[in-house]
């Protein structure tokens, strides 16, 4: 990922016009993203209007609803509300699992590709990036088609005599998992590859000269050196998985809410509770920020 | 970051020039065109040929977006889409909610030349007394269908959805429509709609929580496909949609359960701040002509609320089991609850999906 | 480099297997859909012989008008958003990389990467609420604006990366020769940056073309893009004509990337052929 390159003198050829150069990006992102975010923050502290909308009166009701269970009728003594926490925890677990799965497959792939000779390397990389360019919706739909009860995957297993009855995959958490993994796998491979490509192979040679085994080299030398790439890959998979919408909706049968569908439901579906949707968005956003700050910290320590 | 992306210096200016030219060429599309009609409609409900017919008869360019539940129609309009559509097709209770919420424009007396075609029984309806905002579109029922290849037993009870036999458990699709799911569940328990009886509401909550394990998925627009493809063996569904699924090859039987079922009427309404109000009125008049509304009935297999459609109907419809409810169990419309009650039901719904 | 090791330090057993598995996972669904798009049978699960009928239907069927206008919208929106965000990103990259050290540089970088870092669903909802609050009518324009915003970081990253690799001595030399700052940019920096700019543009273009969630939230009456149109259609069942359409989009993406790849090899690969 981009950033200033440490150790080199910073060029300042364009310093006098810097403000003008940065202005368009500040203005566009500031007005059309930062401002909407601030508006959401404000909305999360407002009173909900019945059936969608907000009333401009300060209220903590949205956060209260998220945290406290006051019974079905709102008059019992508050206890912890597990409904939304469960939804968040499930989403986090799903995203983590997807990240781990992507890492397990993505790391060896990136390593293998990066160690190919230049000519074939480009071809391998080309093969891996192609699916990344294919529309995510189409990829998810393809996956759904493949794994449905009487789809090609089950037909093949039945045909081979490996199973007797179709293996039900669609509408399960496993399918969502598979979908997330499949959607974001290239996000894991590319940053690791980029780090790996810059890895100096003589480090491995040196370690081997000191009688390190292959796995010791991997663990003690390669992984520490390309860690930024691995961390970047994990973030690029984890963050979009957390708010994913298509995979749970198409592959999971929309039966259980994930964070994404919970938020959507507040603005587009039955619930129509804008402040609550805004509060859930803010909570999701702060979780992402925590992850990013941890990342920034770990990067700063490296330097 | 993307090493595949390359490097050629001549390509860039060429690509940019082509891109700019292409963008410039599109600007007319964005310009305001005369004679438009923007419809917000349920999915898979109106035949494209009918829209084309209106389009060519009146020289109006018709665009249509779709929604999949009354609630999402309301939510979209509230979240900023009011003012971009001319007409929508809300169900009965939603007409009342939208009218009370100030989302509808009134149709003045005499504005619709074909108003006299509205069937007597659909004229003074509780959700729009005197038809100030709406005209009848189609009416039908909502209950459930069962794949008879999978299950041959008795399906005359809502047990099929809430306490299903082993053959169907885990293979049921529910409509993603809060109002209708709640009504069927209430009917199953024999409780009235918009109940404020706490014990009953807790029972309702327990029923939904217990039944959830038997349900494979939630979705309205997918309701037909999951039954046809076999992803679901039973499913809550609208009568006409089930008939279409049957025609597509699924061995389905649509149930009219003893506990009761949902009846509904979809209505064409004139939206507030409609950008093309005149065309919207023309379109409503167009849909009050028996021949035109019959085309919708033939396509969607529900029933029209206009006199004189009979001669234009597909003869097969007359004997269709989905369109001919047995005498006995009665259907109920979805009721509009007050805010406090509705909020309890909203909470039940969220708890169901956690 | 010679080494006397008993093993090849670069080689890890099993990594090839995982790589093949990775490709298998990535490609199987796509290939299956491609194959079934040529299926003559109406039932998508049974094979009824080879046929191009679904491709004919994409172009001439009942829904063809909808898909055509959606494709047109997708393409023009992606071009408009891609070009605009690329121009903004070029300016921002120069300001960031060639603007010297300044207070607020990290804030500026955070702002630039914000569209990537905020979960898409949050961006979608916030944009919808914001447009609704300021009374910006949802439609074609709202989609373009939202796409420009989230395309900026995708355009920025490759451009900034390229710029960091360019020695500033080139422009400094030009300015020493009395070129104005603009001339130095136009005649020296811009041509060297071009590959990065093209990468940035293509990335932004594809990201815009790909977007579903944000578009779905903020699209206005009668404006569909291909992803939203396809989503609406597949919810009602994966029909063979959708598979045909998907295959066409897939081939379109592959064609773009392949062209880029080939051009890239011709342009830059000549000197780096050896190991």
Q: Are A208 and C3 in contact (CB under 8 A)?
A: yes
At a CB cut-off of 8 Å and minimum separation 6, what does B319 contact? Answer: none
Chains in touch with B (3+ beta-carbon pairs under 8 Å) read A, C
Surface-to-core class of residue A218, CB atoms within 10 Å of its CB (0-12 exposed, 13-18 middle, 19+ buried): middle
Q: Which residue of C has its CA nearest to A155?
A: C45
Distance (Å) from the C-alpha of residue C220 to the closest C-alpha of chain B? 7
From the list A11, A111, A142, which residue is nearest C12 (CB)? A111
**Which of A182-196, B260-274, C24-38 has the largest mean confidence?**
B260-274
A165 reaches B (C-beta below 8 A): no
- Phi first, then psi, for residue B67 (nearest 5°) are -130, 170
Residue range B140-263+325-352 in CATH 3.40.50.1110: no
d(CA C242, CA B225): 14
ipTM exceeding the 0.90 mark: no
Contact between B1 and A256 using a beta-carbon 8 Å cutoff: no
Q: Among B9-13, B276-280, C75-79, whose mean pLDDT is lowest?
A: B9-13
Beta pairing class for B234-238 and B172-174: parallel
Largest CA distance in chain C: 73
Contact between A2 and C164 using a beta-carbon 8 Å cutoff: yes
Beta bridge partners of B271: B104
Tell the residue number behind the tokens 């939208």, with chain if given.
B98
CATH fold group of domain A86-266: MetI-like fold (1.10.3720)
Buried-state track B28-64, b at ≥16 Cβ within 10 A, e below 16: eeeeeeeebbbbbbbbbbbebebbebbeeebebebbb
Domain extent listing, chain B? 29-138+266-318, 140-263+325-352
Beta bridge partners of B140: B264
Q: What is the pLDDT of residues A71-105, one digit of tens each?
A: 777 777 888 888 888 889 988 999 999 999 999 99
For residue A149, which residues of chain B lie inside 8 Å, CB to CB? 230-231
pTM of the model: 0.85
- C-contacting residues in A 14-33 (Cβ below 8 Å): 14-22, 24-26, 28-30, 32-33
Contact between C83 and B29 using a beta-carbon 8 Å cutoff: no
Among candidates B91, B40, B144, which has minimal Cα distance to B335? B91
Surface-to-core class of residue A96, CB atoms within 10 Å of its CB (0-12 exposed, 13-18 middle, 19+ buried): middle
Chains in touch with C (3+ beta-carbon pairs under 8 Å) read A, B
Q: What is the pLDDT of residues A144-177, one digit of tens each?
A: 888 887 788 888 888 888 888 878 888 888 888 8
Q: What is the pLDDT of residues A245-299, one digit of tens each?
A: 888 888 887 777 788 888 988 888 777 889 999 999 999 999 888 888 888 787 7
Surface-to-core class of residue B323, CB atoms within 10 Å of its CB (0-12 exposed, 13-18 middle, 19+ buried): buried
Q: Does residue C62 have a pLDDT over 80? A: no
Tokens read off for C153:
């970081």
- C-contacting residues in A 211-250 (Cβ below 8 Å): 214, 217-218, 239-240, 242-243, 245-246, 250
Q: What is the pLDDT of residues B327-339, one digit of tens each?
A: 877 888 999 999 8
From the list C44, C63, C131, which residue is nearest B80 (CB)? C131
- Phi first, then psi, for residue A83 (nearest 5°) are -50, -55
Among candidates C149, C120, C151, C139, which has minimal Cα distance to C218? C139
Among candidates C122, C132, C196, C127, which has minimal Cα distance to C164? C196
Contact between A1 and B1 using a beta-carbon 8 Å cutoff: yes
Tokens read off for B52:
């084309």
Domain extent listing, chain A? 86-266
* Pick among 1.10.520.10, 2.20.25.160, 3.40.50.300, 3.40.190.10: CATH of B29-138+266-318: 3.40.190.10
Tokens read off for C165:
């690799």
Distance (Å) from the C-alpha of residue A15 to the closest C-alpha of chain C? 4
d(CA B171, CA B169): 5
The predicted pLDDT at position C5 comes to 53
Distance (Å) from the C-alpha of residue A77 to the closest C-alpha of chain C? 32
Q: Are B176 and B218 in contact (CB under 8 A)?
A: yes
Q: Are B338 and B195 in contact (CB under 8 A)?
A: no
Which strand (E) or helix (H) includes residue A263?
helix A259-268
Alpha helices (runs of H) in chain B, residue ranges in sequence order: 11-30, 48-58, 70-76, 92-100, 159-162, 178-189, 198-211, 223-229, 239-247, 277-287, 290-300, 315-318, 339-352
Q: What is the pLDDT of residues C204-253, one digit of tens each?
A: 888 898 899 999 989 888 889 999 988 888 877 778 888 888 888 888 87
d(CA A227, CA A225): 6
The predicted pLDDT at position B57 comes to 93
Beta bridge partners of B218: B174
């Amino acid at each position: 990922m981009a950033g200033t390159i440490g150790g080199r003198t910073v060029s300042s050829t364009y310093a006098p016009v810097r403000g003008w150069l940065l202005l368009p990006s500040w203005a566009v992102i500031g007005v059309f993203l930062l401002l909407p975010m601030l508006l959401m923050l404000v909305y999360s502290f407002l009173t909900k209007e019945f059936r969608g909308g907000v009333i401009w009166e300060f209220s903590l009701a949205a956060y209260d609803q998220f945290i406290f269970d006051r019974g079905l009728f709102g008059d019992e003594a508050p206890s912890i509300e597990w409904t939304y926490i469960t939804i968040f925890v499930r989403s986090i677990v799903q995203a983590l699992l997807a990240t781990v799965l992507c890492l397990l497959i993505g790391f060896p792939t990136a390593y293998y590709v990066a160690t190919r000779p230049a000519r074939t390397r480009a071809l391998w990389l080309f093969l891996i990036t192609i699916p990344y360019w294919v529309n995510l919706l189409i990829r998810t739909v393809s996956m759904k088609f493949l794994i449905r009860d009487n789809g090609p995957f089950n037909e093949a297993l039945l045909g081979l005599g490996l199973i007797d009855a179709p293996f039900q995959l669609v509408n399960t958490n496993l399918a969502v998992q598979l979908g997330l993994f499949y959607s974001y796998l290239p996000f894991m491979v590319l940053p690791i590859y980029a780090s790996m490509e810059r890895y100096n192979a003589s480090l491995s040679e040196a370690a081997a000269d000191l009688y390190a085994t292959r796995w010791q080299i991997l663990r003690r030398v390669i992984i520490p050196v390309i860690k930024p790439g691995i961390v970047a890959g994990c973030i690029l998979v984890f963050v979009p998985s957390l708010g994913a919408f298509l995979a749970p909706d198409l592959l999971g049968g929309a039966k259980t809410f994930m964070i994404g569908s919970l938020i959507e439901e507040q603005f587009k579906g039955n619930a129509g509770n804008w402040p609550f949707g805004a509060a859930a968005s803010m909570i999701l956003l702060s979780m992402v920020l925590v992850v990013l700050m941890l990342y920034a910290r770990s990067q700063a320590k490296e330097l | 970051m993307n090493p595949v992306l390359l490097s050629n210096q001549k390509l860039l200016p060429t690509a940019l020039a082509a891109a700019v030219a292409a963008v410039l060429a599109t600007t007319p599309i964005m310009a305001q065109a005369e004679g438009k009609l923007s419809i917000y409609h349920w999915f898979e409900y109106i035949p494209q040929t009918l829209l084309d017919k209106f389009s060519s008869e009146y020289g109006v360019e018709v665009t249509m977006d779709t929604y999949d539940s009354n609630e999402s129609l309301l939510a979209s309009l509230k979240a900023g889409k009011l003012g971009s559509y001319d007409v929508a097709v809300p169900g009965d209770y939603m007409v009342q909610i939208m009218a009370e919420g100030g989302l509808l424009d009134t149709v003045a007396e005499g504005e619709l030349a074909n108003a006299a075609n509205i069937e007597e029984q659909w004229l003074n309806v509780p959700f729009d007394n005197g038809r100030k905002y709406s005209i009848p579109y189609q009416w039908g029922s909502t209950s459930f269908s069962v794949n008879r290849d999978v299950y041959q037993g008795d399906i005359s009870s809502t047990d099929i959805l809430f306490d299903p036999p082993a053959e169907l458990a885990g293979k049921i699709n529910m409509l993603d429509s809060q109002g209708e799911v709640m009504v069927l569940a209430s009917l199953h328990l024999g409780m009235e709609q918009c109940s404020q009886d706490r014990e009953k509401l807790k029972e309702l909550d327990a029923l939904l929580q217990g039944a959830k394990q038997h349900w494979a998925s939630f979705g309205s627009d997918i309701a037909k496909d999951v039954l046809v493809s076999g992803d679901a063996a039973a499913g809550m569904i609208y009568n006409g949609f089930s008939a279409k699924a049957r025609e597509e090859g699924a061995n389905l039987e649509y149930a009219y359960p003893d506990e009761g079922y949902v009846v509904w009427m979809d209505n064409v309404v004139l939206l507030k701040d409609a950008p093309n109000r005149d065309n919207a009125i023309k379109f409503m008049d167009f849909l009050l002509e028996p021949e035109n509304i019959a085309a919708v009935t033939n396509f969607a297999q529900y029933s029209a609320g206009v006199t004189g459609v009979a001669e234009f109907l597909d003869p097969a419809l007359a004997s269709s089991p989905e369109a001919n409810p047995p005498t006995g169990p009665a259907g109920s419309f979805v009721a509009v609850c007050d805010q406090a009650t509705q909020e309890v039901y909203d909470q039940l719904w969220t708890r169901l999906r956690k | 480099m010679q080494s006397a090791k008993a093993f090849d330090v670069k080689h890890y057993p099993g990594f090839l297997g995982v790589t093949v598995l990775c490709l298998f996972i990535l490609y199987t669904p796509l290939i299956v859909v491609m194959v079934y798009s040529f299926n003559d049978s109406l039932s998508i699960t049974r094979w009824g012989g080879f046929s191009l009928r679904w491709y004919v239907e994409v172009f001439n069927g009942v829904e063809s008008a909808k898909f055509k206008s959606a494709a047109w919208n997708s393409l023009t929106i992606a071009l408009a958003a891609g070009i605009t965000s690329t121009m903004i990103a070029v300016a921002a990259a120069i300001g960031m990389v060639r603007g010297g050290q300044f207070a607020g540089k990290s804030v500026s970088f955070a702002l630039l990467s914000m569209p990537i870092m905020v979960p898409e669903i949050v961006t979608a909802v916030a944009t919808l609420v914001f447009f609704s609050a300021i009374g910006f009518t949802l439609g074609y324009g709202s989609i373009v604006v939202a796409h420009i915003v989230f395309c900026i970081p995708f355009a920025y990253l490759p451009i900034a990366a390229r710029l960091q690799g360019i020695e500033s001595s080139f422009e400094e030399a030009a300015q020493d020769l009395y070129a104005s700052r603009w001339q130095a940019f136009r005649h020296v920096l811009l041509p060297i940056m071009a590959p990065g700019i093209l990468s940035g543009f293509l990335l932004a273009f594809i990201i815009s073309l790909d977007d579903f969630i944000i578009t779905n939230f903020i699209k206005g009456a009668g404006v569909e893009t291909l992803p939203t149109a396809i989503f609406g259609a597949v919810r009602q069942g994966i029909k063979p004509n959708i598979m045909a359409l998907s295959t066409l989009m897939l081939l379109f993406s592959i064609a773009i990337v392949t062209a880029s790849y080939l051009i890239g090899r011709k342009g830059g690969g000549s000197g780096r052929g050896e190991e």
